[in-house]
């Protein structure tokens, strides 16, 4: 019997390496962990910054299809753990009965739930990266500190920026359209699906990118479903909660929640077909 796989889905402006600590923690509990990057994302942060390749062409449809294909490739249905846009994708997939359970951390809001006006402006950058023909949106170090890692110190914020931050595709923000009226169909989740696996929403009460009030509003959408839908709020935590020094408390809560809902790690077995044993990307240094 195969071990239960866990598929980590990162969000905008972070590299797949951002899940390195989580993958190690979950593997230590017996899960098989996978953190594949977005299409066009290079194996390292440095290379992704230097040569983003086709990353700038990626929109929400391509991202959802990419991770949906990976979910379908597993012999055992995986747990989905997503952050920000990854949390939106995790909700979309679990709502379509893809995945055994889903955890959406500081998720970009689904359906008709709007961001606050101040947060929506953060998701709608005014200019692109001139070197990439305005296809990529960079997050400057100062802005990362202000809106992403605002709940940690300046020194830690700088370390996180250097280790994990990469440009994000402008097309993705167009699909999300948090300041407009037309959102991509993939930005929706079947919140009424009673047959899906359990879902946990996680928010940080100091999050400026996806405010706690927004995640609470998404949580209320699931109120009419008899499927398990839970909300966990972390005080004094910002959008960087999956990578900063407080990540372990969040990860351990997720592990305890999975255990409480009967999602256990099984004996060692094979990984998903065609993906290799350990897709988690590591730095080259």
What are the percentages of helix, strand and coil residues in the chain, rounded to 5? 40, 15, 45
- pLDDT recorded at residue 272: 44
Mean pLDDT over 227-249 rounds to: 97
**What is the Cα–Cα distance from 111 to 205, expressed in whole angstroms?**
22
pTM of the entire predicted model = 0.91
Per-residue pLDDT at 273 exceeds 70: no
Min mean pLDDT across 49-53, 59-63, 160-164 is at 49-53
Q: What is the pLDDT of residue 7?
A: 98
Pairing of strands 168-169, 136-137: antiparallel
Domain residue spans of the chain: 5-260
227 vs 72, 102, 174, CA distance in Å? Answer: 22, 12, 31
DSSP class per residue in 142-158: HHIIIIISTTS-HHHHH
Mean pLDDT of 29-47: 95
Q: Distance between CA atoms of 213 and 9, rounded to whole angstroms?
A: 23
Mean pLDDT of 70-78: 95
Check if the beta carbon of residue 44 is closer than 8 Å to that of residue 66: no
Task: Give the pLDDT of residue 28.
Answer: 96
State the alpha helices, DSSP H only, in the chain: 20-28, 45-50, 60-73, 85-95, 117-122, 141-143, 154-164, 170-176, 212-221, 247-260
pLDDT band at residue 224 using 50, 70 and 90 as cut-offs = very high
Angle at 84 between CA 80 and CA 90, to 5 degrees: 25
Lowest-confidence region among 6-15, 148-157, 270-279: 270-279
Structure confidence at residue 178 (pLDDT)? 82
Q: Which fold has domain 5-260?
A: Rossmann fold (3.40.50)
Encoded tokens for 71 = 């979910």
Q: pLDDT at position 44, please?
A: 96
Give the confidence band of 271 by pLDDT, cuts at 50, 70, 90.
very low
Which pLDDT score is estimated for 179? Answer: 73
Among 131-140, 168-177, 197-206, name the one with the lowest average pLDDT. 131-140
The pLDDT value given to residue 207 = 97
The pLDDT tens digits for 114-130 are: 999 888 888 876 654 54
Instruction: Give the pLDDT score at 126.
Output: 60
Least confident of 12-21, 225-234, 258-267: 258-267
- Across the chain, what does the average pLDDT equal? 90
**Among 119-123, 217-221, 223-227, whose mean pLDDT is lowest?**
119-123
pLDDT of residue 26 exceeding 50, the answer is yes
Give 136's strand partners: 169
Per-residue model confidence (pLDDT) at position 275: 41
Q: Which candidate, 140, 105, 135, 58, places its Cα nearest to that of 210?
A: 105
Structure tokens at 266: 């099984």
C-alpha 257/C-alpha 46 separation (Å) is: 35
Section 34-48 average pLDDT: 95
Contact 78, 100 (CB under 8 A): yes
- Which among 283, 272, 276 is positioned nearest to 6, based on CA atoms? 272
Each residue of 76-107: pLDDT tens digit?
999 999 999 999 999 999 999 999 999 999 99
pLDDT class of 134 with cuts at 50, 70, 90: low
d(CA 148, CA 125): 14
């Amino acid at each position: 019997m195969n071990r239960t796989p866990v598929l980590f889905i990162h969000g905008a402006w972070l590299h797949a390496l951002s899940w390195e600590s989580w993958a190690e923690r979950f593997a230590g509990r017996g899960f098989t962990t996978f953190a594949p990057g977005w299409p066009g994302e290079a194996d390292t942060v440095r290379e992704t910054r230097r040569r983003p390749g086709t990353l700038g062409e990626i929109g929400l449809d391509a991202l959802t299809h990419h991770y949906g294909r990976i979910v379908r490739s597993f012999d055992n249905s995986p747990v989905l753990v997503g952050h920000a846009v990854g949390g939106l994708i995790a909700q979309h997939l679990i709502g379509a009965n893809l995945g055994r359970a889903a955890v959406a951390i500081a998720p970009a809001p689904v359906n008709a739930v709007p961001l606050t006006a101040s947060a929506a402006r953060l998701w709608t950058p005014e200019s692109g990266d001139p070197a990439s023909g305005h296809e990529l949106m960079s997050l400057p170090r100062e802005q990362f500190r202000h809106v992403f890692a605002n709940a940690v110190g300046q020194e830690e914020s700088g370390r996180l920026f250097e280790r994990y931050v990469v440009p994000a595709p402008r097309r993705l923000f167009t699909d999300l359209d948090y300041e407009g009226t037309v959102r991509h169909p993939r930005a929706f989740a079947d919140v009424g699906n009673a047959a899906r696996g359990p879902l946990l929403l996680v928010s940080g009460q100091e999050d400026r990118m996806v405010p706690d009030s927004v995640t609470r509003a998404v949580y209320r959408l699931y109120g009419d479903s008899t499927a398990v839908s839970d909300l966990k709020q972390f005080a004094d935590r910002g959008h960087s909660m999956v990578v900063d020094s407080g990540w372990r408390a969040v990860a351990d809560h997720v592990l305890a929640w999975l255990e409480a809902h009967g999602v256990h790690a099984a004996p060692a077995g094979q990984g998903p077909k065609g993906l290799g044993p350990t897709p988690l990307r590591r730095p080259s240094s």
